[in-house]
Amino acid sequence: MIIRQSRAWRCSLTFVLILLLGFTTPATASIGDRLPEFRTCVATCIEENCGRGNVIVPVHLRLLFWTCPSNCDHVCQHIITDQRLARDPPMLSPVVQYHGKWPFHRILGVQEPCSVVFSLFNLLAHRRGLSQIKERIPAEYPLRKYYMLFGYIGILSWVFSMAFHTRDFDITEKLDYFAAGASVLYGLYFTSIRIFRLDQRKHPVKATLLRLWTLICILMYIAHVSYLTLWRWDYTYNMAANVAVGVVQNIMWSFFSVKRYQKLKKPWAAWPGMIVAWIVLAMSLELLDFPPAKGLLDAHSLWHLGTVGPTIWWYNFLIKDAQQEIAGERLKA
pLDDT tens per residue across span 162-176: 999 999 999 999 999
Would you say residue 3 has pLDDT above 50? no
pLDDT at 33: 87
Average pLDDT, the chain: 89
pLDDT at 28: 45
Higher pLDDT, 51 or 238: 238
Higher pLDDT, 201 or 220: 220
Find the mean pLDDT for residues 179-188: 97
8-state DSSP, 230: I
Asked if residue 184 lies in contact with residue 243, where contact means CB atoms within 8 angstroms, the answer is no
Beta carbons within 10 angstroms of residue 47's beta carbon: 10
CA-based Rg of the chain, rounded to a whole angstrom? 23
Pairwise CA distance, residues 187 & 319, whole Å: 16
Find the mean pLDDT for residues 231-259: 94
pLDDT at 91: 87
pLDDT tens across 45-63, in order?
999 999 877 778 999 999 9
- Angular region, 102: left φ>0, alpha ψ -120 to 50, beta rest: beta
Closest CA to 162 of 61, 23, 299, 301: 301
pLDDT tens across 255-274, in order?
999 999 999 999 999 999 99
Helix (H), strand (E) counts: the chain: 14, 0
Strand partners, 117: none
pLDDT at 332: 58
Would you say residue 19 has pLDDT above 70? no
The pTM score is 0.88
